[in-house]
Structure 1
C-alpha cells in the first residue's frame, strides 16, 4: 500500500507491499509523488515475489557472487573476472543494492568516459546489466528493476580495420625469431596462416594435428563447438620446425606470449598492431583467395555472419586485380 506525506517543502512517497521491502522517494510536487506510488505499486504487484531478501547486501557482494557463480564458468573468464574485481574496489560497490538507482551508474559512466574509451565503458555497463538481470530473474533478488536497464550507453567500439602489411610481416617475424623463446616466431606465422584465436593456438596438442592430411582439430572452442582447420603448405612447414618435446604444440603461457609479442612488435618498429589482428588478417586473406562466407565461417568458427564481416577487411588492390581479370 502506498502513501504520500508532506515533509517540509517536499512530498515523501512510500510504498509497502507484502513480500517486498519498503520503497521511499521524495518529490517537489505532490502529483509526481502520487504518480510514482501508482507506478511502483503496479510494477511490484505484477512481479513475482523475491526469493532472496537483499537486505544489507552491497553491490560488492553481488559482483563477487556473480564472478564466482557465473563468470568463472565462462570461456575466457579472466577478463570479465578482472573487471568485476576492479569494480568491487570502486566506491559505487559500497552502496547497498536497495539504494542503487540509475543515477549512480550515470555518474559511473561519466567518470569512466574521462578515463577510458567509450567502447570500454559500453562493455562494462553491459556487464552490469547482465549482473542485475541474473540477480533479479535467475536468483530472485528482491529488486523491483534493473538500475542499468534503461541507462543511455556510450557508443560501442568501432570494428578494427588494421591489417598486417607485407613489410611489417617480414620485420615482425625477424624480431620474433630473435626472442629467447623459440616458439614466438612460429606462433605468429601459424596465426597468420590459420586465423586461430590465441587461446586455440595455445591449447593445440600434437595429437590433434594431422600433418599428413593437413588439418588441425580444435575442441571446446570459444563458441562451444569443435571444428577442423585446414593447414596450408606453409603452415605445415612451420609445424615441422617446432620441437615435438611436449604434449602441447606451443607449450607457453598466454602471459609469456603477450610479453614476447609486445617486445617483438616494439623491436620491429610496428605500432597499433594487436595479436588478434593476425586473425583479422587471416580471415581477410581467406576471402581474397575466393572462399565463400560459409567456407570461411567453417574455418574461423564464426556462428554469426555479421560478426564474421567485422573481421573482414579486403585489400582493394587484390579486389581490383580480380575485377580486371573479368
Structure 2
C-alpha cells in the first residue's frame, strides 16, 4: 500500500521547506521509499498524491532502474546498507543525511553532472561552510556514487565529483582543514583544573572532571575512548589497558590496541570506584560540555578538549620519547601527524640538547 507524508523543515536562513516522503510497505516493512523537497506545501501534496497513484498503477521501480533513481535514492540505499552506511563513522553519517536535504538529492543519477556538484559547493560556501567542511560533502558523496554499480547493480558509471574536484580546488571551495597546534599556555591549565574542581565539588555533580582531564592528557586518549574503557580491559602486569575500536580511517571496527598507562594515568584509573563495568562511566559529551562551560567562563579562547591529546603527545616528545614510542600511546597508525607535532617541538629540543652538551 503506497502512502505519502509531508514534513515541514526550516533551513538555516529561516525559509520553510516541505519534504514529501512517498513509501510502500509490505508485511509491516518498507520495500520502497523516495522523497522530494518543495518550497510550497501545496506542491508537495500534489507530487505526493501523483507518486502514490503512479506506484499503485505501475508498482515499485526495479532496483537497477537508473533512469528513475535520484542521487537521494542512492544516498538512502547507502545509508541503510548495514555493510556501508551502517559501518560509517558519526561524521560521515551526519554528512550523508544532510545531503538528503540538499537540492542535489532530487537530481536523477543520469542527469547528475559536475555542474551540480559545483553549484552545491557554492551554496554550502555561501551559507558559511568552510573549504574543509565542503570537502567532506564532496568526498563522502563520491564514495556513495562509486558504490552504485558494483554494490547495487545500477548501471551508472560516471562520477561527476572526479571531474568537479580540480575546479573546486582552484575556486577555493574545498580544501584540507588547517592543522592545529594549540596547547594550553601559561597558567591556562591550572585555571581549568581549578574551575573543573569547583564544578566537580558541586552537590549535584557526579563527574570527576579533574581526574578525567588529567587522565586524558597522560593517556593521550580521545574523550570518547576514555569513557569507553572497561575494568576487564586492564592488564595489571603491564600497567596497560585495551582501547577498543581506536579511530583509523582504514579500519572502522576491530582496531584494538594495548596502551600503556604511564605515570599518574595508572594511579588515576586505579582509584576510580568500581561501580560500573566502565572505569569512567560517564557520557563523553557531558564531560566535553562541562569542560567548555568552565573554559568559556574563564575566557580561554580557541582551546578544545581534543587539544589535550596534542598536549599529552607533546609532553611525551619533550620527555625524550621517540615517535614510534609515542605512537604506541596515541594509537597513530601513520606517523605523519605525529611527525608534524614533533617538528614543532624539535627546534626547541635541539637547543636544549645543545645547552646540555656544553655543560
Q: Match for 2:85 among 65, 71, 89?
A: 71
Shift of 1:314: 2.1
User: Matched residues in 2 for 1:144 and 1:220: separation?
Assistant: 34
CA contact (8 A) 1:176 1:261 kept: yes
- Establish whether residue 82 from structure 1 lines up as the match of residue 91 from structure 2: no
Q: CA–CA distance in 2 between the matches of 1:107 and 1:219?
A: 41
For 1:191-230, list aligned pairs within 5 A: 191-210=216-235, 213-223=238-248, 224-230=254-260
Measure, in 2, the Cα distance between the counterparts of 1:244 and 1:318.
41
> Which among 332, 342, 345 is matched to residue 314 of structure 1?
345
Per-residue deviation at 1:166?
A: 4.7
Give the secondary-structure state (helix, strand or coil) at the position aligned to 1:216: strand
Asked if the contact 2:323–2:339 (Cα under 8 Å) also holds between the matched residues in 1, the reply is no
Tell me, in whole angstroms, the C-alpha distance in 1 between the residues paired with 2:283 and 2:350: 38
- Normalized against structure 2, the TM-score is what? 0.70
Q: Distance in 2 between matches of 1:256 and 1:200?
A: 14
Structure 2 SS opposite 1:244: coil
Alignment of 1:35-114 (within 5 A): 52-69=64-81, 70-74=84-88, 77-114=89-126
Seen in structure 2, the aligned counterparts of structure 1 residues 325 and 170 have a Cα distance that, compared at 3 Å, is: same
Q: SS in structure 1 opposite 2:155?
A: coil
Aligned equivalents of 1:183 and 1:136: distance in 2?
Answer: 51
Deviation track 1:30-88 (CA, whole Å, cap 9, x = no partner) reads xxxxxxxxxxxxxxxxxxxxx933231122222122222213213xx222111111111
Alignment of 1:188 onto 2:208 = no
Distance change (3 Å), C-alpha of 1:309 and 1:184: same
Indicate conservation of the 8 Å contact 2:95/2:140, yes or no: no
TM-score normalised according to structure 1 size: 0.77
Query: Residues 279-298 of structure 1 correspond to what in structure 2 (within 5 A)?
Result: 279-298=309-328
1:105-254 to structure 2, matched below 5 A, reads: 105-114=117-126, 115-151=128-164, 152=166, 153=169, 154-179=174-199, 180-210=205-235, 213-223=238-248, 224-254=254-284
Name stretches of at least 5 consecutive residues in structure 1 with no aligned partner.
1-50
Structure 1 contact 71–81 (Cα < 8 Å) conserved: yes
Q: CA RMSD in A?
A: 2.1
Which of 1 and 2 has higher RCO (CA within 8 Å, sep 6+)?
Answer: 1
Q: 1:157 to 1:134 in 2, by over 3 A?
A: same
**Cα distance 1:82–1:108, how it changes in 2: closer, same or farther (>3 A)?**
same
Which position in structure 1 is the counterpart of 2:295?
Answer: 265
Is contact 1:163-1:281 (8 Å) kept? yes
Shift, 1:105, TM fit: 0.7
Distance 1:83 1:191, change over 3 A: same
CA distance 1:120–1:189, shift in 2 (3 Å): same
Pairs aligned (count): 274
Mapped pair 1:304 → 2:342: no
Contact 1:214 1:236 in 2 (8 A): yes
Return the offset for 1:304.
1.2
Residue 201 and residue 113 in structure 1: after superposition, are their counterparts in 2 closer, same or farther (change >3 A)? Answer: same
